[in-house]
Chain A
Amino acid sequence: MTRRALIPLFLFAVLVGFLAFGLTLNPRDVPSPLIDKPAPDFVLPTLRNPAGMASSQSMDGQLWILNVWASWCVACRQEHQTLMDFSAQQSIPLYGLNYKDRRTDALRWLDERGDPYRDSFYDIEGRVGIDYGVYGVPETFVIDQQGRIRYKHSGPLSPKLLHDTILPMIRGFGV
């Protein structure tokens, strides 16, 4: 067998390499174009204060986390304990964006399981979600002191993700 005959084998190995790498990727994950861009401002009622309107701009100057959730979202239950632990152990403000939900259902969900949020903004039509590029629930945004989105995660948060990725990143921002 001549050395030239090994070329197809080599090319095959290259293809296998691509396949192996590809298998580690999540094709459903859509990268956000909003990273490092200013977080879209919004004014919404909140679950705790349905009559008033709260503005996202009230968070200017603080680093905070916005978690998109809904009572109808099954995957949100997976991350709920992680969020409860987070808000108990960390001082970083955690706010919810209650996405296309019924207020009564949302409040009941929080009553039953516990409320990890300082408050949840009530986005009944999902328009604020569209501004943030939300395409599934749950999603989590890290917004820095200058009001820029620095990180977005689609899907439930895991303790591993929180401790290995998000918290070190936040510490890097100087909280």
Chain B
Amino acid sequence: MSREGLGKSPYLFGAKLAPGLVGLMVALIFLLFVSAGAAKEARPLSDDPELEARVMQIAEDLRCLVCQNETLAASHAGLAVDLRTQIREQLAAGRNAEQVVEFMVARYGDFILYRPPFQPSTWLLWVGPFGLLVVALWVMSYVIRQRRLVGDGLASEDEEPDS
């Protein structure tokens, strides 16, 4: 919007803009939108999106051993890139997902599986929290029962656990 008498120069927040600046701003904003569209994803390393999808699927269930709380799919570590290349090459050579995972576990051990396998050495890991919850609930119910008995005068005060 222009003030009367000052010609057709555009105003922005009350400041008078130099001619051509608007054009520059429009061009920059245009570039921003265009580049945002182009910066979606890195170009996949193989031109086969289906293969890439399978690689990522396997990589998401494996752990990056360098950044150990990241999956192999998400990590940018050099080893992660190398192992993803291995997965890609093996899938392209006709191996199936199970064989690829076996390859990794044979070299790096169970730790490379992002989900620990359910086996005797990890039973405590898997079941432990639930077990502790059950114990806690039992203790709680015992305490509550004791309190109620004391309240009803059925148990002596000495029996009451320290509160």
Task: Please give the residue numbers on chain A whose beta carbons come within 8 Å of chain B beta carbons, in ascending order.
Answer: 1-2, 4-5, 27-28, 30-34, 100, 125-126, 130-133, 135-136
Q: Are A4 and B78 touching (Cβ within 8 A)?
A: no
Residues 61-74 of chain B: 1 if any A CB is under 8 Å from the residue's CB, otherwise 0? 00001101000000
Known: A2-B158, A130-B86. A100 touches B109 (CB 8 A): no
Q: Are A131 and B107 touching (Cβ within 8 A)?
A: yes
Q: How far is the CB of B155 from chain A (nearest CB, A)?
A: 13
B41 at the interface (CB under 8 A from A): no
Neighbour of B82 across the interface among A4, A27, A130, A133, CB < 8 A: A130
Within 46-86 of B, Cβ neighbours of A (below 8 Å) are at 65-66, 68, 78-79, 82-83, 86
Taking CB atoms, residues of chain B closer than 8 Å to A30 are 65, 108-109, 111
7 contacts between A and B (CB under 8 A): A30-B111, A33-B107, A33-B110, A126-B79, A135-B66, A136-B65, A136-B66
Q: Are B78 and A100 touching (Cβ within 8 A)?
A: yes
Q: Are A31 and B161 touching (Cβ within 8 A)?
A: no
Q: How far is the CB of B103 from chain A (nearest CB, A)?
A: 9
B140 at the interface (CB under 8 A from A): no
Q: Are B109 and A32 touching (Cβ within 8 A)?
A: yes
Taking CB atoms, residues of chain A closer than 8 Å to B86 are 130
B162 at the interface (CB under 8 A from A): yes
Taking CB atoms, residues of chain A closer than 8 Å to B106 are 33
Given contact pairs A1-B162, A135-B79, enumerate 12 new A-B contacts (beta carbons under 8 Å).
A4-B162, A5-B161, A27-B68, A33-B105, A33-B109, A100-B78, A125-B82, A126-B79, A126-B82, A130-B86, A132-B107, A133-B107
Q: Are B105 and A5 touching (Cβ within 8 A)?
A: no
Residues 93-134 of chain B: 1 if any A CB is under 8 Å from the residue's CB, otherwise 0? 000000000000111111100000000000000000000000
Taking CB atoms, residues of chain B closer than 8 Å to A31 are 109, 111
Measured in the bound complex, the distance between the Cα atoms of B79 and A53 in whole Å is 25
Q: Are B108 and A133 touching (Cβ within 8 A)?
A: yes
Q: How far is the CB of A102 from chain B (nearest CB, A)?
A: 14
Taking CB atoms, residues of chain B closer than 8 Å to A125 are 82
Measured in the bound complex, the distance between the Cα atoms of B112 and A135 in whole Å is 11
Taking CB atoms, residues of chain A closer than 8 Å to B111 are 30-31
